[in-house]
A and B are shown apart, each in its own frame.
Chain A
């Protein structure tokens, strides 16, 4: 049974690093990379497991689920695990060189591994309160990581993030408490079973609002997004990549999907709310991104906008739209982490993130330049890169479902997306080079390697909808389409 390892490995690594990391040189690098690599291998191994068994349930401590805690491995879980651990491995690879700029590298890795443990825990758990615990582990680790630079800007961002994150957490906790009082259980499948026997009342809708606001803040949906444009740019680049790439998707989108699709039943009104929130996010995020002059801030707003696309697609709710949404989630994880890593490489070489002070870097930073080009083109939906296919599916699904106005808006926003990424490319890599930066050097090998790998994934990720790889994505979609059937699946696997 591989499931517990997804939590045990990062927790254990965090422990070991904090114990020995300071004394033995390079140990923390090695341990962190080994940890994330093994997690990546485990998560890839989970794919065939899902194909064979459909669903696997692990009883923690051998207790039978409604009483004990269980961990569930199904299509969605394995999809999210692959996404998260792929990105986190490449990010730790990148951190080896990048984090030399900071002191206390081992603390960084400790916090990083704790955050990863929290994220993996959220994905695999089958228990609602357990989900909250892991969510808090991940969040608190991320508050600390945002403040890692300990300059005024970072501390301010971290403070805002912590306050808003705590408000969201308390909403989620309140929601869980209300559900517990209503159904007398905390197991997700059991809650679902218990709810299906009761008439749909105001209680469930009230809880839905609490969850929507709580997880919506973790997802950074407008109007709950205000912490993100401060927090993501302030963190060190690898952490920005993690936060924008996978963190908001795990704590936000995955949790939202699990709670709303599999535990509470989705009503058409709820889907409508998701569509509206998604639309607002994509519009507001894009308009704000284009006005930025700080690279990372621009990417942060762009994340809000792209998350809007994913939520919009999930809100449409048809099988094709959910496929498009999850596909876009994967793509966005890849290219947004690539772009944040690029911004880190630019900062590493030039010591600035201000677009107005850069320019003409493609000559001195060829690897960063080309991978940035790939990432930017992928996120703007230029064929044949990955982002194009997911956007295509989302638009086609929206039109098929009859959302014409929304699809027109989504298209217009994608033009805007192209515009601000071209702005980024123009001001950093093309144009006149600043004389003072004639002789800058590119980032060291491991940073380049990790950017190149992510760039390659950007190019080939379109293959995920090719017949050979589609079952991987489709099995994740099927879990969401299952809806209320989740409880039968879980209880069936227990028997």
Chain B
């Protein structure tokens, strides 16, 4: 069917599974919203919807209309084979994102910030497309193949890459995501920044890097360094967050690093890994945000200090959260491990054959990526502990009722997909989705997913048996809590988990960086604002409202014109 629209739209191996994923996420989001957005229950978000002028029913109709519109437009953007058409769809997504974020409570300034970053990057994309048109004379994406032999091509590539980075949230265009995660309605965050925007941004990055441009070494290194930096910097920020949604928001940034890194490796296995990671990430990240929504709906807050012990009250949510957290941390046999391992393989491949500079960058990035993965696990230990394990702050009535089925079902489905994509990685996702899109993938290490899963399960079962058989209860002893050598404030009589990694914050160098980061020093938006208002102020000084001054300008202007036109 789609070939009738050629050359406007085109369906190929790279975008077909993205379309499928967009469809899946949209359906799950809508199912989830049926429960979450239900205005009968008086939750914060429902109240926010009302207080923001979208009264009950009308607000809901708008909300679902925007969600469906977003899905349709995203599919259009992914399928389009014409650069202008792509730009139209792409730019319109910024508007729906803006409107959806605005539905949150107190979200108007973050909606503005988001749209300035995303919409601004779309403007840069327009510039990039203009340059491509100038260089090639065509707008058909499948007939463009540009080599980097002059500065203009590089500029065009960078302009479009910036649009991808802003959409996906790679540094330094990430700063909207953590704030947005905190203030926007949860289904919106789970839907757009966490999954759809990742898919779109990385899809386009892959598209331009694989098809539209012939990558060279310098740009590959550039991509890799951006990726590595994003991984480390964002995960460091995530470690010290006290709000579940904000913590997840920083991880949403950090994971983009792996995808950019994978595409930057420039060899098939790395690229395939990056693209596979994009798919995996949107699955578990949407899952995690939906889970945070469950928690918010149930408890009314996502502040980690106030949570705890939810594993008993919300068993299904807890299982999903556990699986998704293990996936994002890259623990085998879940899907995150497979794709991360593929990215690592791509980096190791670079070590073997290529030039000195590329090798150096690859080593650096490999270290960063692995270290980042470890820190991810650490921060999710904190999250799981603080939310689901540990003790709850006050002894709430222990009703073991989870949230309504429309809310836990999408979480569980996504968790099951995480398992399937991990255990049967070669049989299902790689075979049908990823390998057809990237040609010539050769695996260097071997990883028998099925066998290792079996071993993991056997290990767990054995452990359980030993635990049960020995009967620990009689010899159990009580001791002071030990949390990785951290000083724990036991006055509250419980370990909340939020202060797990406070030591990092207290280190002198890192502490200073954290302080600056919180103040917005690394936020491209805040810095841009300062510059713009600085210039604006000096111009305002010139507009003093005195008529003779204005007349003098006019005279000066005329003198300038005389100089140019008469001399």
Contact = CB atoms under 8 A, between A and B. Distances in A.
Contact of A291 (B130, B540, B556, B561): B540
Contact of A164 (B102, B126, B551, B565): B551
B92 A382 contact: yes
B511 interface: no
B565 A426 contact: no
Given A382-B119, A418-B120, A287 B551 contact: no
B108 A209 contact: no
A456 interface: no
Interface stretch (B32-40, B320-328, B501-509, B530-538): B530-538
Contact of B547 (A160, A287, A363, A399): A160
Interface stretch (A246-254, A348-356, A407-415, A442-450): A407-415
B520 interface: no
B116 A213 contact: no
A415 B84 contact: no
Contacts of B557: 213, 216, 223-224
Contact of B535 (A287, A399, A407, A430): A287
Given A209-B561, A288-B540, A399-B133, A384 B533 contact: no
A229 interface: yes
B72 to A, nearest CB: 13
B111 interface: yes
A400 B84 contact: no
A395 B539 contact: no
A426 B109 contact: yes
Nearest to A160: B547
Given A212-B561, A288-B539, A422-B115, A392 B126 contact: yes
A422 B116 contact: yes
Contact of B565 (A205, A224, A381): A205
Contacts of B126: 381, 391-392, 395, 411
A400 B557 CA distance: 30
B469 interface: no
Interface in B74-129: 84, 87-89, 91-92, 94-95, 98, 102, 106, 108-109, 111-112, 115-116, 119-120, 123-124, 126-127
A418 B539 contact: no
Interface string A407-442: 110011011101100110110001111000000000
A195 interface: no
A12 to B, nearest CB: 37
Contacts of B123: 381, 411-412, 414-415, 418
Interface string A385-417: 000100110011011100010011001101110
Specify which of A226, A227, A360, A418 lies most central, judged by the most chain B CB atoms within 10 Å of its CB.
A226
A400 B129 CA distance: 12
Contact of A209 (B109, B127, B540, B562): B562
Contacts of B556: 223
Nearest to A270: B565
Contacts of B533: 290-291
A217 B120 contact: no
A383 interface: yes
B558 A209 contact: yes
Contacts of A160: 547, 550
Interface string A255-277: 00000000000000110110000
B158 to A, nearest CB: 11
A416 B543 contact: no
B553 interface: yes
B392 interface: no
Nearest to B87: A383
A24 interface: no
B515 interface: no
B127 A411 contact: yes
B453 interface: no
Given A160-B547, A363-B55, A416-B532, A273 B565 contact: yes
Interface residues of B, number: 56
B53 interface: yes
A96 to B, nearest CB: 28
A223 B84 CA distance: 36
Contact of A430 (B87, B108, B120, B134): B108
B536 A205 contact: no
Given A399-B130, A416-B532, A419-B116, A167 B92 contact: no
B271 to A, nearest CB: 29
A377 interface: yes
B16 interface: no
A399 to B, nearest CB: 4
B2 interface: no
A301 to B, nearest CB: 9
Nearest to A381: B123
B151 to A, nearest CB: 9
A428 to B, nearest CB: 10
Contact of A208 (B102, B134, B550, B565): B565
Given A206-B566, A381-B123, A430-B52, A213 B551 contact: no
Nearest to B563: A209
B20 interface: no
A415 B87 CA distance: 15
Nearest to A221: B557
Given A399-B133, A431-B108, A290 B536 contact: yes
Contact of A395 (B89, B116, B130, B540): B130
A291 B537 contact: yes
A383 B88 contact: yes
Contacts of B98: 422
B173 to A, nearest CB: 12
Contacts of B539: 284, 287-288, 291
A202 interface: yes
Nearest to B534: A287
B444 interface: no
B76 to A, nearest CB: 11
Interface string A224-236: 1011011000000
A399 B543 contact: no
A404 B294 CA distance: 50
Contacts of B561: 209, 212-213, 273
7 A-B pairs closest in CB distance: A363-B53, A226-B550, A430-B108, A415-B120, A291-B536, A431-B108, A223-B557
Interface of B: 52-55, 84, 87-89, 91-92, 94-95, 98, 102, 106, 108-109, 111-112, 115-116, 119-120, 123-124, 126-127, 130-131, 133-134, 152, 155, 532-533, 535-537, 539-540, 543, 545, 547, 549-551, 553-554, 556-558, 561-562, 564-566
Given A213-B561, A383-B88, A399-B127, 6 more contacts: A167-B551, A216-B557, A366-B53, A412-B123, A422-B98, A422-B115
19 contacts: A160-B547, A163-B547, A164-B554, A167-B554, A212-B565, A223-B554, A224-B557, A288-B540, A290-B536, A384-B92, A395-B126, A407-B130, A411-B127, A412-B123, A414-B123, A415-B124, A418-B123, A422-B116, A430-B102
